[in-house]
Chains A and B, each alone.
Chain A
Amino acid sequence: MNSTELNQRVDGIFVSLFELEQSQLSGDKNLFSDLGLDSLDTIDLVISFHKEFGIKPPNDELQHIQTLSDVYALVEKYHKNREQVLDH
């Protein structure tokens, strides 16, 4: 799965889980001040990552996430790691 496809699936999670419009989603948007998420939402976001991509990013990395671009990057990193593990 390439970056564009991954980002589209991440956007899909935001649309279904947080009831946002696709038009509201762009990489520069801050999850909290722009998109209205809070600490409970980030927990459900991580649960969704596990269901959607089979990944579980560690808490210390999650704490640094601010923008949607940060989310795209984190998902791509752990998704790539997972694919490499599965390839072996």
Chain B
Amino acid sequence: MKKRRVVVTGSGLICPLGSSSGELMEKLHGNASSVVSQPEWNHPPYGLATTLSSPVAYFDLSEIPRKTRRTMSRVSGLAVKATNQALRASGISEDLVRSLSTGISYGSTMGGTSAIREYYAISREQDSLASGVRSTTFPQIMSHTCAANLAIHFQIPGRVVASCTACAASTQSIGFGYESIVHGYADRMIVGGAEELEPAVVAVFDVLSATSSKFNDSPENGSRPFSRDRDGIVVGEGAGTLILEEREQALARGANILAEIRGYFTNNDACHMTNPSVQGLESVMSGALNNAGLKPEDICYINAHGTGTPAGDEAEARAISRLFGTKTPVSSLKGHFGHLMGACGVIESVACINMLNSGLIVGTKNIDPIDPACGPLMHVRSEDKKSLEGDYIIKNSFAFGGINACLIFGRGY
């Protein structure tokens, strides 16, 4: 039986560098930064080492009608905004959206983090666990809050799954959507991920000395993937959505095909909760190539996870070097907009698809001086105007828990 092919027919996003893919690409190519400093984070009640973050400046949850908004925290609201944009861009009919063969695969790091903090704050203040609870508290908090709220808001009756695998969440969501269509469990999948900026989550990384704090006074320099001066991540927020469709059906309805998902693989390092494994990272990329039926030399660009942590970047660079050698261009977009956590995989995928179609690579911002330990690789700097010459690109995402996920995108024609 012929393998069902999966294409991307729409994308939508809201992120610190823009509220559309066009705006995002303009800012990326213009070498912009969305990283800001909030000096109050150094002081009580925060007490963080970092003051850096990458927030979405303009988003109003009250744009969403009360009846569906009441079960949303910011993370689900951002997901609705991105999905609305993606559905409209895809031109898909309401009948198809509301069909049993349309599903949702949508992730976030761990659900509605601000709602969790609010719940505990009220409960502690009132000295009663029950006092912090409203009827909508759990739907705002739950790990599948984005996926469930999207299903209710857009009235989607098909399969709904949520990957809450931290920084790999949205890449795994895309992968699960891809597999659902390949295996015939769905014909269309709304996939992606979202994240809301919550200081309590920043604190988790801060305690692990995984946040950038050397550049609190020059925020635009704080996120520096693969640089010798990198000192950790800058936490951000946002949401991104892709509309995936079975290729023949998409062609039959005259959809505009942005790209094809050619392969996907996910695995686990199976050795440490937070330390990356070069072997695990190499295996996930190798698995994606096998799934796509491609060889390393077929890949013309690698969009790295590249978060700016000392250990993570070095391990990823070594894994890429072992599998691809030094002739495949590599960059990370986190130098521009920080680490968008549960949304990073999908927003970076939107950028990858745009790079594939424009033929121009966005290089890594703040990479100089390049760390010799993150090589030898063909690193692309943000100042470079390097063209993308080939048909397939790889997108990596890795997460605490040893979770690795890798997608391969191809041209849509």
Chain A residues within 8 Å of B135, by CB? 40-41, 43-44, 47
Q: A18, B134: Cβ atoms under 8 Å?
A: no
Give the interface size bracket for A toward B: under 10
Contact with B along A15-57 (1 / 0, CB 8 A): 0001100000000000000001010110110010000000000
**Interface readout for B121-137 with A: 1 if CB under 8 Å, 0 if not?**
00000000000001110
Interface of B is mostly: loop
Minimum distance in angstroms from A48 CB to a CB of chain B: 9
Determine the chain B residues whose CB is within 8 A of the CB of A44 once the complex forms: 134-136
Q: Shortest CB–CB separation between residue B148 and chain A, in angstroms? A: 14
Contacting residues, chain A, for B71 (C-beta < 8 A): 40
Which residues of A have CB within 8 Å of B136?
40, 44
With CB as the reference atom, state the residue of chain B lying closest to A41: B135
Return the CB mask of B48-74 against A: 1 if under 8 Å, else 0.
000000000000000000110011000
Could you say which interface size class chain B belongs to?
A: under 10
Q: Which residues of A are found within 8 Å of B70, using beta-carbon distances?
A: 40
Residues of B within 8 A of A43 (CB): 134-135
Encoded as 1 (CB less than 8 Å from any B CB) or 0, chain A from 54 to 80 comes to 000000000000000000000000000
CA distance A19 to B67 in the complex (A): 10
Q: How far is the CB of B372 from chain A (nearest CB, A)?
A: 58
| Whole-angstrom CA separation of A23 from B134 in the bound complex | 27
Residue of A nearest to B62 (CB): A19
CB distance from A47 to the nearest CB of B (A): 6
Q: A36 to B134, Cβ gap below 8 A? A: no
Query: Would you give the shortest CB distance from A3 to chain B, in whole angstroms?
Result: 28
Complexed CA–CA distance, A36 and B66 (Å): 11
Of all chain B residues, which has the CB nearest A47?
B134
Distance between Cα atoms of A24 and B136 in the complex (Å): 24
Query: CA of A44 to CA of B70 in the docked complex: distance in angstroms?
Result: 11
CA distance A38 to B70 in the complex (A): 12
A40–B133 alpha-carbon span in the complex (Å): 12
Give chain B residues whose Cβ lies under 8 Å from the Cβ of A40. Answer: 70-71, 135-136
B134: A residues at CB distance < 8 A: 43-44, 47
Give complex CA distance A58, B71 in Å: 25
A7 to B66, CA, bound (A): 23
Beta-carbon nearest neighbor of B136 in chain A = A40
C-alpha gap A44/B140 in the complex (Å) = 14
Q: Interface 1/0s, chain B 309-328, versus A by CB < 8 A? A: 00000000000000000000
A54 to B71, CA, bound (A): 25
**Residue of B67, B71, B134, B135 contacting most chain A CB atoms (<10 Å):** B135
Closest 5 CB pairs of A and B: A43-B135, A40-B135, A19-B66, A44-B135, A44-B134
User: Which A residues lie at the B interface, using CB under 8 A?
Assistant: 18-19, 36, 38, 40-41, 43-44, 47
Sample of 5 more A-B contacts, CB < 8 Å, known A40-B71, A43-B135: A19-B66, A38-B67, A40-B135, A40-B136, A44-B136
A-B contact pairs, 16 of them (CB 8 A): A18-B66, A19-B66, A36-B67, A38-B67, A40-B70, A40-B71, A40-B135, A40-B136, A41-B135, A43-B134, A43-B135, A44-B134, A44-B135, A44-B136, A47-B134, A47-B135
